[in-house]
Structure 1
Amino acid sequence: MSATPSRRPRFGLATPVHLAVLALMAGAVHAQSGPNDSPAPAPQQESSTTASGSSDARESKALPQVVVTATKRASSLQKTPVSVTAISASTLEDAHVKNLLDVFNLVPSMQGTGQGDHGIVSITLRGIGNDSAKTEYADPEVALFVDGVFAPRPEGAATLLFDLDGVEVLRGPQGTLWGRNSTVGAINMKTAKPVLKDQSGYFEGGTGSYNRLGVKGAVNIPLTDTAAMRVAFMHEQHDGYVDYQKPTQYTLAQQQAAYSASNGGSLAGFQPINYNLFVTGGPKYNAQDQTAARLSFLWKPTSQFRWDLSLEQFADRGTPAMSLMQTPRAGQNFWSALIDTAPTLKRDSTSVRSRMEYDLGGMALAYVAGYTHFKGSGTYDQDGGVNVPTSFTTGATYQANNTVWTSYRSSSHELTLQSTEKQTIDWVLGLYYAAEDNAIRFDIPIMNGTQQGTVSWQGSFIQPKETVDSKAVFGQATWNLTDAFHVTGGLRYTHDDRKNIGGRGWTWAGNAAAPQIPLNPTIDPTDPANGYTAGNINDAHYTGSKTTWLARAAYDLSKTQMVYGSIATGYKSGGSGDGGLLYGPETLTNYEVGYKTTLWDGRMTFNVSAYHMKFKDFQFSAPVIVNGNRQFAYSNAEGAKVSGLEVESAVLITPDDRLQFSASYTKTKLGQLVAASNDYALPTCFDATLGGNCVDVTGNDLPHAPKFALQLMYEHTFPLSNGDQIAPRISFHYQTANWLSVFNLGEGDRQKAYSTADISLRYSSKKNWYVDGFVRNVSDEKIKTSAGSSGSYANNPIWSAQYAPPRTFGVNAGYNF
């Protein structure tokens, strides 16, 4: 067993990261302290110019006001009648947030997991998510935006969160204003923008467990009196968590006996196992190696016009997350696996985002546009080494899930016109258009025993062109009946057009003349000589449209208290799966009431909301076997019901003591659905006409929905006599047990109740440098985020699971200039 060598950032001379570093160094050399003549930002919008966290809240006698854009206009969080969590730049820094997986514990009713074979992040909000939203087919229920630009594919959710002004998580249907696939919520990441006439920035470097190395920084550079530029970059890497197991090596006689027993007593065709095919060195699973850079421009030639433009590059050279045996094999460590497919992950994306705003006097016109090009590939050990081969064709199964290539291009355009000055009726009107063009080749070779064995099944899913076109028109208006009473109504009409052109599932045809070797990128499955046939014809065309609406009333009980109630509908487009089979759209109605208040002269906020969601035609998707062919299929459940309660509070106990609290209660029930999945060992279908293996999951709880979850954060600042500060911080998370799939199959399919804590200690100097040490998952809890089983349902199947990271620690040091 060989350890993975420590890797260094690869900053090529022509890469955007190299340019970002050079610009940052130049800015640091020439940075001058001077007045900022640009208009002051809203008081709640914390600047990301510093990475050390703002001390304003600690020096103030009140909590800073938080401004959000949940209603497509800037408003105080405490005056916004929406269930929204606003996470500031300093909170992201304090919580050591690097990607979306780090955000989940900061938001009520939010859960998430990394998916292994595609290396993506799956998001669940208020008990609703889609674990299968990892292919070119599936759409998530939670929409992800960056600066208001929709990110359609789940690979985007794994990108680094760097140099942000903050993150807003909107819970409940947001389709009226936010559009596509925001069935149960939307996440908007707001990047730090350039500032006029200001030269400043920061740089941070860190190290930690598993050979972690991280660097990040940003510099704001004034270009003219009306233009500015911001350069930001980040690199994070660590070695993988999963060690390689050495295979059990059977003697030649033992291998021959096992082979003979499965081959009618004959040794014809016998081969000894080539144990060199097992991976025992090189990069490990669950490694991170991600780099990102962003170049942002601001042009503000007049007080009426502003143009923000950014170019962002992201590169991922880490490895996928490995599923581990829930009960390790005797003599093996928990964080280890018997691997016969080496992990690789290569993903690159380029994104351009633009926002133009023009003040028309009482009205504002805005045009938001975005474009993303993504391409990638990867290899993944799907069998997970849960069984040890007893001969080259017996005792185990070799299965790899390999993304040979994938790419997509997406673009979106949104034009809005809205009132600005407060009027009797505040309104916003908008037009929206988005387009996607997806392509993928995804191979699944499955061999009996080892890679040397005979073919069990193998196929190549080649989708050369799958397109999405979505058009929408929307409007929302708030009638201010009095200074305290406000009524809002909104409508959105959406038309979706989805096509699969030329998609084929090429499957092994059992051609005796073709070599029985694992499918790999050098094999063209479309050539009949290689032994494959078109098992699935995936050509399909889906069109559909839907009108969604919102009705809401809000009443200000006083200057510091408000109540609201709303009824909103949500919609997610239908589409097609393998075989060209169409499935219908998913819709829901959400009923919600809420209360927000500010107490103790602004030193405490307390927000609570209760909701009930009723789904119709809830979409369920999974890999299945139909007539011997493996394919990705969709079903529309009769519906689902979800009810819950969410509480959030922040308290400035003293100028040196901060406390944040959030909690959620969630109750779910799935409507009528008979479900199947290749990811689980399931019983034979109760209905012989259905065939195969399936479970009636009607009435089951939805996955990733603990009934109760609690998050606490406490920080105390110790001021030192020289003006420096020391601030210890602890975050505590507790949640009750939750299922990991709709099947509700017992302890293997369940994450038990658990609690975990993160701690950190920050030293901040008045000379603008800081050192921050941290430990995450202090108690080293083993937290399952998804599960699967293999073998026979009736004969103790073997359970595996994806897990949240083990205990990690690190230290960062930075300087603000």
Structure 2
Amino acid sequence: MNATFSQAENRGQLQADYTNPYGPFVAAFLPPGFSIIGDLDINLKKKQTGEVRFATNRFGGFEGLLGAFYTDERTDYLTKLTSFLSNGAVAPAPIGNFLTSDTQSTYKEGAVFANGTYYFTDAVDIGAGLRYATNKQNATLSSTGLIGRNTPPNFVDFEDSSTTYQVTARWRPNSDLTTFARYATGYRPGGPQTNPNPPTGTPTTFKADTVGNFELGVKGLALDRRLRFDASVYHIDWKDVQLNGLFNGLLLVANAGRAKVDGAEAQLMYQPSAAMQLGANLGYNNARLTEVGTSTAAFLGAAPGDRLPGSPKLTAALFADWYFPVGNDMRASLGATLRYQGDKVSSYSNSVLNPSFKMPAYALLDLRAGLEWSRYSLRLHLDNATDKLGYTSYTTNKVAAAQTSLPSNATVTTPRTVSLVFGADF
């Protein structure tokens, strides 16, 4: 038997300038030099999670596991947009309180699960697992201010359940080679809409989305066990895809339709000697929408055939490490990693409020050196050695289609970074 329990609380605060997107709506009523500042307070009041597992010893050709899981989460998401005059004073009513939006929610989930494996021979086995989960959620939504609804709080309740399963077959023709085939399902819970000021006609809840994943793989050793390899291909069917968008600067979730993901992954590690290690990783991921609901298409601008935003088709890495003695009791090392990420899109093809931008591919070079002696180590890292600039995300998030000169926001790769780390084993 194995039991775990955890409790967490955290609070995050973020301040941002919303003058550009919202300023034009109040510019005629305020003197020059005004600003609209947004304060976001994300408060995880409590998260308690527990799990218990009972594992069997193998009897005959069978071994199994039973378990239960529970989580209780309470959050408060407060967004406040305030209009300020050029002297720093809050603008007079009703413009001063541009928007105050509060979402208080609870999420409780309980689940039971069982896994079992039957070994027909030492070379062949089949495993299966089943999980049933149910969740209850509620949210209290309220908004006031110039663009708020200024209505009594809205209470939304939601209940959902899901059954997921997986089946895996393995064949090990020899001690250095394993092949497998797996089919597994998964889901993300639905829930209440957390936007207190959504567009007219928007549903107050959204459904769970589900995936079915079929995978074939092989892993093993070769070349007198100096080469390790691990490769797989997969196909994912994704139904009722949950897509996020912004409306009046606040998050809105909608079920878009269906998507498919086809991909392959491979990892190689070659050790020609005890002093050297070479490796390579390669990933291909073709993720695209195949069906889109009419309302979602109108709101997010998504269309069948669109790539899923933020998902590069190709990723790759090459790395090498060399170890050599220095003196009688010291070992040094030199290493490098070259990381590549293919291009990706930031949004959907027909999005009006967040036009799509193709973020170019980029490659980053990381260098490292180290010393080890006794129980101590000293490591020098030079990450992004060539100081390459690459986009990791990009968004415009206009609040009105007529806004043509709104600045965009982008996050970029970490610039060249030097770090020195000293360690000791105890």
Per the TM alignment, residue 375 of structure 1 is displaced from its structure 2 partner at its CA by: 3.1
Per the TM alignment, residue 705 of structure 1 is displaced from its structure 2 partner at its CA by: 1.4
Q: Which amino acid aligns with 1:377?
A: Q
Q: Distance in 2 between matches of 1:675 and 1:742?
A: 14
Is 1:654 the counterpart of 2:292? The answer is no
Q: Distance in 2 between matches of 1:381 and 1:794?
A: 16
Q: Which amino acid aligns with 1:799?
A: S
Identify which of 698, 701, 707 aligns with 2:304: 698
Is 1:460 the counterpart of 2:100? The answer is yes
Q: 2:3: which partner in 1? A: 367
Identify which of 540, 555, 563 aligns with 2:179: 563
Q: 1:784: which partner in 2? A: 391
Is 1:595 the counterpart of 2:234? The answer is no
Asked if the contact 2:245–2:300 (Cα under 8 Å) also holds between the matched residues in 1, the reply is: no
Per the TM alignment, residue 478 of structure 1 is displaced from its structure 2 partner at its CA by: 0.9
Asked if the contact 1:506–1:536 (Cα under 8 Å) also holds between the matched residues in 2, the reply is: no
Identify which of 53, 64, 68 aligns with 1:427: 64
Deviations 1:642-670 (A, max 9, x none): 11000012221211101222110010111
Q: 1:55: which partner in 2? A: none
Q: Which amino acid aligns with 1:547?
A: T
Counting only pairs closer than 5 Å after superposition, residues 476-555 of structure 1 correspond to structure 2 as: 476-500=115-139, 502-508=140-146, 534-535=150-151, 537-555=153-171
Deviations 1:555-579 (A, max 9, x none): 1121111111111111111101124
Q: Distance in 2 between matches of 1:657 and 1:384?
A: 54
Q: Which amino acid aligns with 1:618?
A: V
Unmatched tracts of structure 1, length 5 or more: 1-364, 510-531, 678-684
Per the TM alignment, residue 399 of structure 1 is displaced from its structure 2 partner at its CA by: 3.7
Asked if the contact 2:20–2:406 (Cα under 8 Å) also holds between the matched residues in 1, the reply is: no
Counting only pairs closer than 5 Å after superposition, residues 81-480 of structure 1 correspond to structure 2 as: 365-382=1-18, 393=30, 398-404=35-41, 406-421=43-58, 423-445=60-82, 455=95, 458-463=98-103, 465-480=104-119
Per the TM alignment, residue 451 of structure 1 is displaced from its structure 2 partner at its CA by: 6.1
Q: 2:189: which partner in 1? A: 573
Cα gap change, 1:735 to 1:747, in 2 (>3 Å): farther
Q: Distance in 2 between matches of 1:402 and 1:670?
A: 34
Counting only pairs closer than 5 Å after superposition, residues 795-814 of structure 1 correspond to structure 2 as: 795=404, 797-814=406-423
Q: Distance in 2 between matches of 1:504 and 1:492?
A: 36
Asked if the contact 1:675–1:696 (Cα under 8 Å) also holds between the matched residues in 2, the reply is: no
Indicate the structure with greater helix content.
Answer: 1
Is 1:582 the counterpart of 2:205? The answer is yes
Q: 1:216: which partner in 2? A: none
Q: Distance in 2 between matches of 1:729 and 1:542?
A: 52
Per the TM alignment, residue 439 of structure 1 is displaced from its structure 2 partner at its CA by: 2.1
Q: Which amino acid aligns with 1:505?
A: S
Q: Which amino acid aligns with 1:475?
A: A
DSSP 3-state at the match of 1:503 = strand
Unmatched tracts of structure 2, length 5 or more: 197-202
Per the TM alignment, residue 583 of structure 1 is displaced from its structure 2 partner at its CA by: 0.6
DSSP 3-state at the match of 2:291 = coil
Asked if the contact 2:347–2:356 (Cα under 8 Å) also holds between the matched residues in 1, the reply is: no
Asked if the contact 1:790–1:798 (Cα under 8 Å) also holds between the matched residues in 2, the reply is: no
Per the TM alignment, residue 615 of structure 1 is displaced from its structure 2 partner at its CA by: 0.8
Deviations 1:687-724 (A, max 9, x none): xxx6xx75243321012211111011211012123331
Deviations 1:465-504 (A, max 9, x none): 411111111111111111111111111111111111x331
Q: Distance in 1 between matches of 2:383 and 2:295?
A: 37
Is 1:737 the counterpart of 2:343? The answer is yes
Counting only pairs closer than 5 Å after superposition, residues 591-630 of structure 1 correspond to structure 2 as: 591-625=214-248
Q: 1:773: which partner in 2? A: 380
Q: Which amino acid aligns with 1:641?
A: K
**RMSD (CA atoms):** 3.3
Asked if the contact 1:637–1:671 (Cα under 8 Å) also holds between the matched residues in 2, the reply is: no
Per the TM alignment, residue 770 of structure 1 is displaced from its structure 2 partner at its CA by: 3.0
Cα gap change, 1:386 to 1:471, in 2 (>3 Å): closer
Asked if the contact 1:700–1:744 (Cα under 8 Å) also holds between the matched residues in 2, the reply is: no
TM-score by length of 1: 0.46
Asked if the contact 2:345–2:356 (Cα under 8 Å) also holds between the matched residues in 1, the reply is: no
Q: 1:228: which partner in 2? A: none
Higher relative contact order (CA 8 A, sep 6+): 1
Per the TM alignment, residue 591 of structure 1 is displaced from its structure 2 partner at its CA by: 0.8
Cα gap change, 1:646 to 1:653, in 2 (>3 Å): same
Deviations 1:429-448 (A, max 9, x none): 11122111222322123579
Per the TM alignment, residue 807 of structure 1 is displaced from its structure 2 partner at its CA by: 1.1
Asked if the contact 1:769–1:813 (Cα under 8 Å) also holds between the matched residues in 2, the reply is: yes
Q: Distance in 2 between matches of 1:747 and 1:549?
A: 38
Q: 1:640: which partner in 2? A: 259
Q: 1:280: which partner in 2? A: none
DSSP 3-state at the match of 2:224 = helix
Q: Distance in 2 between matches of 1:704 and 1:553?
A: 33
DSSP 3-state at the match of 1:672 = strand
Q: 2:358: which partner in 1? A: 750
Q: 2:326: which partner in 1? A: 720
Q: Distance in 2 between matches of 1:658 and 1:482?
A: 35
Aligned length: 410
Q: Distance in 2 between matches of 1:718 and 1:446?
A: 63
Asked if the contact 1:391–1:449 (Cα under 8 Å) also holds between the matched residues in 2, the reply is: no
DSSP 3-state at the match of 1:534 = coil
TM-score by length of 2: 0.86
Q: Percent identity?
A: 20
Is 1:673 the counterpart of 2:292? The answer is yes
Q: 1:764: which partner in 2? A: 372
Q: Distance in 1 between matches of 2:77 and 2:403?
A: 36
Cα gap change, 1:536 to 1:425, in 2 (>3 Å): farther
Cα gap change, 1:810 to 1:799, in 2 (>3 Å): same
DSSP 3-state at the match of 1:401 = strand
Q: Which amino acid aligns with 1:407?
A: L
Asked if the contact 2:338–2:364 (Cα under 8 Å) also holds between the matched residues in 1, the reply is: yes
